[in-house]
Structure 1
Amino acid sequence: MNPGTSVHEQPENLVEVDDLRVSYGDVTALEGVSLTLEANKIYGLIGRNGSGKTSLLSVLAAFRRADAGTVRVEGRDPYEDADIVSRVCLIRESGDLPAAKIRQIIGLYRELRPNWDQELADRLLRRFDLPAGRNVSKLSRGMKSAFGCLLGLASRAPLTMFDESYLGMDAPARYIFIEELLRDYVEYPRTFIVSTHLIEEFGRLFEEVLIVDKGRLIVHDTVDSLRERGVSISGPAELVDRFAMGLDVLGEQVLGPTKQVTVYSHPTDDLRRQAKAAGLELGTLPLQDLFVHLTTRPERNPS
C-alpha cells in the first residue's frame, strides 16, 4: 500500500506504551504491556473477551488513567491533554452517543474535531442510508453502529480506534465500512487500531497485529510474518512427532494413524525439503486459527 501525503506531520512512533498496568479494584485488566506503534499504519487488535483490549484502547483515548507505566501519543501523555485528546478518536461498541438527532451530533463533532471532513460524513450518510433528522435513540442497532463508524472515519483523527463498533452492522454494511476505511486511509494516511473478533473478515485491513491474552501482549508482528509462522504438519503420527520435536507446538489432532500438529515457527527452506522427503504435508493456518491456538494453549508465551 502506498498512501499519499499525510495531513499532519507526525512522529515516526505515534504511540509508545511502557510497562502499562490497568486495574479495576482487585481485577488486573492489563499487566506489563509495552508496545510501539508507528504512524500511518492499520493495526489489528485481537483477543478473547476480557483479555484487556478495551482497557488498552481506553487508556490511549484518555478515557481512564493508567495505574502504572507510561503512555505517550505523539510524545505526550494523553490524559487530561485536550490537544492530544482532540487528535484521538475511539468509537466503542456502545457508541457513546447522546440522545440527539444525527445532524446535531455531526454538528457537535464538527466543532470538536479539528480534522473533521463534512464531505466524507455526507457521503457516509448516503452509503449507510442514515436518516440525518432522526434521533439516535430511534435508530436500530445496525444504524447506531454505522453512525459510530461514520463519526470515526469523518473525524480523521491521527489516531482513530474502533472497538468492535461494527458488531451491529450486517455484512453489506461492514463491507462498506472496510471499503471506506481503506479508501480514506489511502487519501489521508493516519493510524488506525481496529479491535475485532471478525478476524478473517477484517484481517485484510491489517498491516500489523497485536494479540492480547489475559491482560498481556503476547504477539506484535506483521500479518505476513504471522501467516508464515502458523504451520500445520500432517502425516503418519510417528513421523510427525519426530519432525515436530523441538518446535513450538500449539496443538495437535489425531485421526487413526494420521496426525496433524500446529506449530509456531518460521519454516526454513531446509525444513520444507526435509518434510517433503519424509512424506509429510506442510500447510499454513488462517490468521483466525492461529489466534485460537495461541490463546487456548496452556503456555501463552510464543517467542
Structure 2
Amino acid sequence: MITIKNLCFSYGKTEILTNVSSQFEEGKIYGLLGRNGVGKTTLLSLLAGAREAKEGMILYNNKPLFENQDAISAIGLFYQRNDLDRDMDHSKVEDVFKKAKQFREHFDLDYAYELARKFNLKTSKRMNKLSKGNEAVTQVILGLASRLPVTIFDEVYLGMDAPSRTLFYSELLDEQERFPRVFIVSTHLVSEMEHLFDEVKIIENGQFTLDESYQTAVEKGNTLTGDAEIVSNLTKGLKVIREQVLGTTKAVSVFGELGEHVREQCNTHKIAISQMPLQDLFIALTEERG
C-alpha cells in the first residue's frame, strides 16, 4: 500500500533520513521504534503527506503520495494535542467528532461515542478544558473511528493512564479484526505494546537497522550465558550487541541466526540460550557505544 524508495530528508545541513527503503502492507500493525530525535516523526509526516520527499520516492498504491488526493483521503496522522489545529480549542469534543464525520468518508460517529463512553470521556467538554489524558483519548478515538486505510499514531498515548492505554490496545486489535488496514504506531512503550505488532521497524542513524516481522525480529535476538571462554568462542563472527561478565560467567547478546552448530555446542557445553524481549533488543541495537 505504501512503498518507500531511497528516501532522504534533511533539515538544512542536518541529515535526518538516509536512503531509506521499505514498505507498509495492508492488514498489518507496524511498530515504529527509535530513540528521541532519530527522525520518527519526520518519517511519519512524510508518510502522511504533510511534507514532500525531496530525494527518493514515497508511493501510495504505486503512485506518488505527496499531493495525491487518494492518499490524502486515505491516510490519517494522529498525535499529541499540542499539534492540533488551535481553531478547535473552544470546540466541544462532540463537535470535533461531527466535523470528522463531515470530512472522513468512513468515520463511524456511533463508534466514536461508544468509545467515549468506554474511556469515560465527556463529549460535552471543550477541547481546551480536557486533561492531557483525555486529549490523548480524543485523538485515539478519532484515529480508530475514522477507519482510514492507513492510520498513524505518533505516540498518541502520552498522558493516558494504564487502564486507558490497555483499552486502547484492545480496541486497536478489535478494529484490525473488524476492518483490516495499515496501522503504524510510533512508541517508546515497547514492552507494553509489542504484542500488537505484526512488523517492527527500528530507526537508527537515519536508516532502518531492523525491518522485520515481529516474530523474525525476536527470534534473531538471543543471549548466550555460561562459561566465559566457551561463550566468547561460540559468539566469534556473530553480531554482538551486548556483553556482561560476572566472574567466570559471561552473557553475550547477539543479533542474527545462531545456526545449528552453535546451538548444538551450547547444548553440549551447557550454555543457556534465551530469547531477548523486543524491548531489550531495541535498547541493545540503539544504545550508544564508546
TM-score where L is the length of structure 2: 0.95
For residue 133 of structure 2, the aligned residue among 138, 142, 155 is: 142
Counterpart for residue 222 of structure 1: 213
Counterpart for residue 182 of structure 2: 191
Cα distance in 1, alignment partners of residues 118 and 261 from structure 2:
51
Question: Which piece of structure 1 moves more, 116-125 or 204-213?
Answer: 116-125
For residue 96 of structure 1, the aligned residue among 67, 75, 84 is: 84
Q: Any idea what SS the aligned residue of 1:119 has? A: helix
Q: Any idea what SS the aligned residue of 1:219 has? A: strand
Counterpart for residue 83 of structure 1: 70
Are residue 288 (structure 1) and residue 276 (structure 2) matched? no
Cα distance in 2, alignment partners of residues 102 and 180 from structure 1:
20
Are 2:224 and 2:231, in contact at CA under 8 Å, matched by a contact in 1?
Answer: yes
Are 2:98 and 2:109, in contact at CA under 8 Å, matched by a contact in 1?
Answer: no
Q: Percent identity?
A: 39
Q: Any idea what SS the aligned residue of 1:149 has? A: helix
1:239-258 alignment, distance < 5 Å:
239-258=230-249
Which structure 1 segments of 5+ residues have no match? Answer: 1-13
For residue 110 of structure 1, the aligned residue among 95, 101, 112 is: 101
Cα distance in 2, alignment partners of residues 21 and 271 from structure 1:
39
Q: Any idea what SS the aligned residue of 2:63 has? A: coil
Cα distance in 1, alignment partners of residues 22 and 134 from structure 2:
34
Give per-residue Cα distances to partners, 1:204-233, cap 9 Å, x unaligned. Answer: 000010010122111110111111111101
Are 1:23 and 1:67, in contact at CA under 8 Å, matched by a contact in 2?
Answer: no
Cα distance in 1, alignment partners of residues 231 and 259 from structure 2:
17
Counterpart for residue 266 of structure 1: 257
Counterpart for residue 11 of structure 1: none
Counterpart for residue 23 of structure 1: 10
Give per-residue Cα distances to partners, 1:260-295, cap 9 Å, x unaligned. Answer: 100112233442221010121111111000011111
What is the aligned length?
286
Are 2:30 and 2:197, in contact at CA under 8 Å, matched by a contact in 1?
Answer: yes
Are residue 203 (structure 1) and residue 222 (structure 2) matched? no
Give per-residue Cα distances to partners, 1:47-106, cap 9 Å, x unaligned. Answer: 000111111110011111112110111222222223321110110123525212111111
How far residue 297 of structure 1 moved from its aligned partner, in angstroms, is: 5.4
The amino acid of 1:114's aligned partner reads E
Cα distance in 1, alignment partners of residues 58 and 41 from structure 2:
15
Are 2:223 and 2:251, in contact at CA under 8 Å, matched by a contact in 1?
Answer: yes
Are residue 160 (structure 1) and residue 151 (structure 2) matched? yes
Are residue 180 (structure 1) and residue 167 (structure 2) matched? no
Counterpart for residue 269 of structure 2: 278
Are 1:250 and 1:297, in contact at CA under 8 Å, matched by a contact in 2?
Answer: no
For residue 48 of structure 1, the aligned residue among 35, 45, 66 is: 35
Are 1:60 and 1:73, in contact at CA under 8 Å, matched by a contact in 2?
Answer: no
The amino acid of 2:13's aligned partner reads D
Give per-residue Cα distances to partners, 1:33-55, cap 9 Å, x unaligned. Answer: 11012111111100000111111
Give per-residue Cα distances to partners, 1:137-187, cap 9 Å, x unaligned. Answer: 000000000100000000100000000000110000000000001111101
The amino acid of 2:172's aligned partner reads L
The amino acid of 2:12's aligned partner reads G
The amino acid of 2:107's aligned partner reads W
The amino acid of 1:172's aligned partner reads P
Question: Which piece of structure 1 moves more, 74-83 or 31-40?
Answer: 74-83
Which structure 2 segments of 5+ residues have no match? Answer: none
Are 2:137 and 2:160, in contact at CA under 8 Å, matched by a contact in 1?
Answer: yes
Counterpart for residue 52 of structure 2: 65
Cα distance in 2, alignment partners of residues 79 and 144 from structure 1:
28
Q: Any idea what SS the aligned residue of 2:148 has? A: coil
Cα distance in 2, alignment partners of residues 96 and 64 from structure 1:
17
